[in-house]
Structure 1
Amino acid sequence: MDTRQLRTFIAISEHGTFARAAQAVNLTPSAVSQQIHALEQELDTPLFNRASRPPSLNLRGLQMLETAKKVLSLVDETRGVLSERRMTSTLNIGSVRTSTIGLLPRAIVALRKEYPELNVNLRVGMSSSLISDVNADRLDLAVVAEHSSVSRNMLWSPFIREPLVVIAPPGTPEMPVKQLLEELPFVRFGSDVPLAALINNELARLGVEIEEIAEIDTIPAIVECVAAGLGAGIVPDIAVRENGRDMLTLPFGDPQVFRQIGVIHRAGSAKSELLVAMHNKLAEMAGEFGIFRREPT
């Protein structure tokens, strides 16, 4: 098996017939047939349904097509690195709906300045589906909170460790946090994510008796409600760092509670250089709370 056979095989799938594929790869139709025959002999399985005209990929052929594309992508990337050309690759990124998602566009732009030929695909989703997609190699990395369902073949590395803060409407007089949370209506972060559990557990530990006025599943919406005067809330520092709108901001927890967000990827990825670079760009955008990685893992 060699890369010429794989490129010919992919060309057949893209152009529909052996004859059109031959034109695309600058071979004769007989040479294309010989390459495919040799590939099938080496794999000891037919890749085409030859009962149809033109021949179509069978199930094994479809599986081989996916593998061939991955192999050639890795070969092309390796050649670029070894010849010291600029890196050409695609980075498939997933992210949960976190308040740190605002860091991603800036990190991607900064990374592409270093790797101008880099292509980036970004998708937002739930942490469970993103982790599954990383495990299945449909995503190269995902931005998620520390997660108990991470398997041994994947690595989670935090890029930000930031404090949680209590926020109250503009003009609220400063007072002890427990008193503030018990006197003002509470806008709860209601979501099945680690951050919500972290907040609720600390409230219970501190023995705070809250009067809930709303339950909202996004941090930006909580900030908007508090800024409008609906009540108090608890959010990550990044949610109000650049524009606190004159809201009262106090440390949450005793000692102050911190949360971590990181990137998860498969161990031993062929794109380890890019993954570390992406991680460190996110840490850079996180400012004083950023956590950098020094070596590819």
Structure 2
Amino acid sequence: MDIRQLKTFIAIAEHGTFAKAADAVGLTASAVSQQIQALEAEVRSELFDRSTRPITLNSQGLQMLEAAQGLVRSAEDIVDAISGRAIGGTFTIGSVRSSALSLLPRAIIELKKDYPDLKIKLHVANTDELLNDVVSGRLDSAMVAEYSGVPSTLRWSPFIKEPLFAIAPRGTEPMPASEMLSRLPYVKFISRFRLANIIETEVARSGIVTNVIAEIDTITAVVACVVHGLGASVAPWSALKETPEEVVAVPFGDPQIHRQIGLIERRASPRAAVIDQLHRHLVSFSGEFGLPR
């Protein structure tokens, strides 16, 4: 088994036919067929269902694809690091479904300017899945909120410490957060993410008695409900920065509550330079709340 065979195998999976894969990797269709035959002989299993048109990966092929992508990415990373050539290959970044996700596309665009030869893929999932994928190498890095269960093999580097605000529809008279959340119908953020726990812990600590009118599982939808007049709620800065004039916002908590979000990576990551640069861009887009390494 060699990297050329794995790249050819990945190309077939991506393009659907041996002929299209041959064009993609610069080989003849005959050479592609020979490489796949050699690969299947080495793993002692067929990797494709050849009864379909176009052919598709069978269960062994799907398992092989995941391994092949990781091996090719690691090999390219090593060559980049040793040779000093322009950084290329594929950089895979994960993220939780967070309001701070709005910062990531802007940072990725800047990262593409830094590394034009780099192909970037974004994957959104829950925190536990992202941690497992970074540990296994399926992801190079992931954006997650502060989390007590980060394995010792990973490093978590915060890039933002953002404040939380109590928010109400535009035109609401200014009042303290505790009064706002008590007097107006309450749009409750329900989630197993840490942010929901932070909010409800402070609501309980402050003795705020809420009148829940809706329970919503994304911050984006919570803010939309408030903007359209349904009631009051709590949201982080990153969820409000695009529409600051659409709501009345006052500090939540005394002192004001903050939450941190950062990047996780393997401690010996071959993509450390790329992750450092991504972190710098995220800090830049976080404004006054950015946290340099």
Shorter-chain TM-score above 0.5: yes
The CA distance in 2 between the partners of 1:291 and 1:275, in whole Å, is 15
Q: Which amino acid is 1:177 matched to?
A: A
TM-score normalized by structure 1?
A: 0.78
Structure 1: segments with no counterpart, 5+ residues? 37-45, 51-59
The CA distance in 2 between the partners of 1:64 and 1:9, in whole Å, is 12
| 6 and 124 in structure 1: CA distance in 2 versus 1, 3 angstrom threshold | same
1:49-73 alpha-carbon deviations (Å, 9 max, x no partner): 69xxxxxxxxx99999976765554
Deviation at 1:90, TM superposition (A): 1.1
Give identity over the alignment, percent.
41
The CA distance in 2 between the partners of 1:70 and 1:63, in whole Å, is 11
Larger mean Cα displacement after TM superposition, 215-224 or 241-250: 241-250
1:188-217 alpha-carbon deviations (Å, 9 max, x no partner): 111111000000001111111111111111
| 64 and 125 in structure 1: CA distance in 2 versus 1, 3 angstrom threshold | closer
1:150 aligned partner: 150
| 82 and 228 in structure 1: CA distance in 2 versus 1, 3 angstrom threshold | same
The CA distance in 2 between the partners of 1:202 and 1:7, in whole Å, is 53
2:251 aligned partner: 251
1:263-297 alpha-carbon deviations (Å, 9 max, x no partner): 1122211111111111221111111111122xxxx
| 102 and 9 in structure 1: CA distance in 2 versus 1, 3 angstrom threshold | closer
Are 1:281 and 2:277 an aligned pair?
no
Structure 2: segments with no counterpart, 5+ residues? 47-59
Q: Which amino acid is 1:225 matched to?
A: C
The CA distance in 2 between the partners of 1:217 and 1:116, in whole Å, is 37
| 72 and 175 in structure 1: CA distance in 2 versus 1, 3 angstrom threshold | closer
1:106 aligned partner: 106
**For the Cα contact (< 8 Å) 1:162–1:238, is it kept in 2?**
yes
2:201 match: secondary structure: helix
2:165 match: secondary structure: strand
2:2 match: secondary structure: helix
Q: RMSD value over aligned CA atoms?
A: 3.5
| 249 and 80 in structure 1: CA distance in 2 versus 1, 3 angstrom threshold | same
The CA distance in 2 between the partners of 1:251 and 1:8, in whole Å, is 57
Deviation at 1:124, TM superposition (A): 1.2
The CA distance in 1 between the partners of 2:45 and 2:252, in whole Å, is 64
Task: Please say which structure displays the higher CA radius of gyration.
Answer: 1
1:262 aligned partner: 262
**For the Cα contact (< 8 Å) 2:6–2:72, is it kept in 1?**
no
2:202 aligned partner: 202
TM-score normalized by structure 2?
A: 0.78
Are 1:227 and 2:227 an aligned pair?
yes
Deviation at 1:75, TM superposition (A): 4.1
The CA distance in 1 between the partners of 2:230 and 2:131, in whole Å, is 36
| 196 and 48 in structure 1: CA distance in 2 versus 1, 3 angstrom threshold | same
1:6 aligned partner: 2
The CA distance in 1 between the partners of 2:45 and 2:8, in whole Å, is 13
Deviation at 1:155, TM superposition (A): 1.4
**For the Cα contact (< 8 Å) 1:9–1:65, is it kept in 2?**
no
After TM superposition, the structure 1 = structure 2 runs for residues 231-242 of structure 1, keeping only pairs within 5 Å, are 231-242=231-242
